[in-house]
Amino acid sequence: MKHAVLIALGDELLSGIRREGNCSWLAGRLTRAGWRVDCMEILPDGKDSLPKYLENRVGTTDLLVLSGGLGPTHDDCTREALSSFLKVPLETADEAYDKVIARYPAEMRHLLEKCRDTQGTVPRGTRAVHNPEGSALGIAFEFSGTKVFAFPGVPSEYRAMAEQELASEISPLTNGTASVLVAGWPESLLKDRIAPVISRQELHISILPSPGLVEIFLRGNPADVVRGEDDIRLLVPGDCLPSGARSLEEAVIKGAAQRGLTSACAESCTGGLVGAALTTVPGSSAVFFGSAVCYSNSAKKSILSVSESTLNHFGAVSSQCAAEMAEGALRIFGTDLAVSVTGIAGPEGGSAGKPVGTVWFGIAGKGRTEAVKRLFHGDRDGIRNRASMFALLCLWRKVSEPEK
């Protein structure tokens, strides 16, 4: 098994001003390609810490990838740090930087020329890595058996350059690994249900929870992995996303397309998060018609035709309102299915009977309407995100429901 070390640089990451995501993303890609990621670390800005770190790490791993510090500002010191580690001067990679500048409109090129002596330099003897998304060159070299890459910290640039430079290294294995996504199960209960598979010594299993989904990642002999995946799907029938679907929204869109169903949403406390998730999936326009974001009671009445009586007697956060919202979306969009969300995301607005985190969901279609309540914990963003994921789960279960 090949080994990798992933490093992010930046005081903003250590201080919590920004969240690190590049290393986590690449770690997932490498793991699915059969690599072992030995560590992910965050180092401060500056010229001093990185050379010392590299002295201890280079030569002990197959791959080391750096994120950040390649821009033109005072705190971007990765080029100087690599130059110090390699004990060579920085040189301008004119041909490579010209290729970057050529991508930009003429009126911007003079601004990029001013950054040539920073963003366009690499340590002598290293290779300049083309940046297809931004203007800062990356750096690549091999030292003591370790392949080292430095990419900018801007996520779109980092990912594009990793895909470009490490395509063969991060291509998922065609056998020997499998991923099963299980919907609607908390990690604590799911681990007990699939315990017979987890206990198999021939498999390496990772349980990776996220809101609304738990991923079971299996590694091992191809035949053992296939048997393990099959057994997990037998242990939680109806709750595993179909093979190839990497998210609930993808399962909804693909499932609806396969069954010839159309869908819509009516959202209050989620403010459009459900519709936004569904429209990230290519091909969603064929089966998803829209989301009515009706935050106020007046909007619920005028757009979704929620009755004033329902709002007065039961309130906007109720089974009755959720049901009428879903039926309203079904009617105004003319779809086969609809899901609605209405709740109290907080931090204010809760009561003893309806505490913060109370959310009702309506599911309409196939001749009936249902309403389901959930109580979510966390801050406002957490409640909204969990509510949107549960709405997608409700819609996926409705899409997957066998016809009667």
Which pLDDT value is given to residue 34? 85
Q: What is the mean pLDDT of the chain?
A: 95
Beta bridge partners of 101: none
Beta bridge partners of 129: 138
As a CATH number, domain 3-165 is 3.40.980.10
Asked whether 283 and 257 are in contact (CB, 8 A), the reply is: yes
As a CATH number, domain 177-235 is 3.30.70.2860
For 382, counting Cβ atoms within 10 Å of its Cβ (0-12 exposed, 13-18 middle, 19+ buried), the class is middle
Q: How confident is the model at residue 1 (pLDDT cuts 50, 70, 90)?
A: confident
For 50-78, write each residue's pLDDT tens digit: 999 999 999 999 999 999 999 999 999 99
For 360-402, write each residue's pLDDT tens digit: 999 999 999 999 999 999 999 999 999 999 999 999 999 999 8
Neighbours of 226 (CB within 10 A): 15
Asked whether 62 and 2 are in contact (CB, 8 A), the reply is: yes
HSE-CB at 353 with a 13 A cutoff on CA atoms is 4
HSE-CB at 100 with a 13 A cutoff on CA atoms is 27
Q: Is 78 left (phi over 0), alpha (psi -120 to 50) or beta?
A: alpha
Q: How confident is the model at residue 174 (pLDDT cuts 50, 70, 90)?
A: confident
User: Of 84, 36, 79, which is closest to residue 60 (Cα–Cα)?
Assistant: 36
Structural domain boundaries in the chain: 3-165, 177-235, 248-400
**Architecture of domain 248-400 in this structure:** Alpha-Beta Complex (3.90)
Taking residues 291-296, report their average pLDDT: 98
Sorted by sequence, the CB contacts under 8 Å of residue 67 that are 6+ apart come out as: 6, 7, 8, 9, 20, 22, 23, 151, 152, 153, 158
For 225-268, write each residue's pLDDT tens digit: 999 999 999 999 999 999 889 999 999 999 999 999 999 999 99
Which pLDDT value is given to residue 404? 67
The tokens describing 140, both together, are: 């690549």
Q: How confident is the model at residue 303 (pLDDT cuts 50, 70, 90)?
A: very high
Which pLDDT value is given to residue 375? 96
For 23-38, write each residue's pLDDT tens digit: 999 998 998 888 999 9
Which pLDDT value is given to residue 94? 97
User: Of 53, 56, 55, which is closest to residue 69 (Cα–Cα)?
Assistant: 53
Taking residues 327-356, report their average pLDDT: 96
Q: How far is CA 189 from CA 89, 213, 240, in A?
A: 57, 13, 15
pTM given for the model = 0.79
Distance CA 116, CA 111 (A): 9
Asked whether 291 and 272 are in contact (CB, 8 A), the reply is: yes
For 96-154, write each residue's pLDDT tens digit: 999 999 999 999 999 999 999 999 999 999 999 999 999 999 999 999 999 999 999 99
The strands making up 213-220's β-sheet, listed across from edge to edge, are 177-183, 213-220, 203-210
Which pLDDT value is given to residue 211? 83
pLDDT of 287 > 80? The answer is yes
Taking residues 176-181, report their average pLDDT: 91
Q: Do domains 177-235 and 248-400 have the same CATH topology?
A: no
pLDDT of 175 > 80? The answer is no
Q: What percent of the chain has pLDDT over 90?
A: 92
